[in-house]
Structure 1
């Protein structure tokens, strides 16, 4: 099922689309700390036979969609300086 989010005033984007997922970072705004701690103890609970339901992941901020930043190409400048020094 498509989940549409408004990117600008007149533009909607399906955030589950693979192309969108590869070009933007989507922050759901939930606090995952308690869940990640619960998940870290999964093997312990499994070996002891303990059942604990997963903790809630409360919403602490609004959903953010921001573009992924491209890595800077640092080697190019160093190579150019070395070539010009010769």
Structure 2
């Protein structure tokens, strides 16, 4: 079986995308209005990020290599 790895490792982060399955929309909206609330003297606690799906670990998609056409033009095959 596979070995356990640390998800926070820099090498692992460069190869896979980790989705924790939480909805951070309410927290993002709260952060946008946070300065306004501080200026007006209002203290609003940060809303929770509810879990909406399971945790997913997906491999990052590698970009398509587009240099082939340039090389083919240089050697005159296209």
Q: Which of 59, 67, 70 matches 1:79?
A: 70
RMSD: 1.8
Please give the secondary structure, in 1, of the residue aligned with 2:5.
strand
CA distance in 2, matches of 1:14, 1:62: 19
Whether 1:66 aligns to 2:58 is yes
Q: Distance in 1 between matches of 2:68 and 2:30?
A: 46
**Alignment map for 1:10-29 (pairs within 5 Å):** 10-11=1-2, 12-29=4-21
TM-score, structure 2 length as denominator?
0.81
- Report the TM-score when normalising by structure 1: 0.74
How far apart are 1:81 and its partner, in Å?
Answer: 4.1
**Structure with the larger RCO, 1 or 2 (CA within 8 Å, 6+ apart):** 2
Whether 1:47 aligns to 2:39 is yes
CA offsets 1:34-77 (integer angstroms, 9 cap, x no match):
11111111211121121111111010111111111222222x13
In structure 2, list runs of 5 or more residues that go unmatched: none
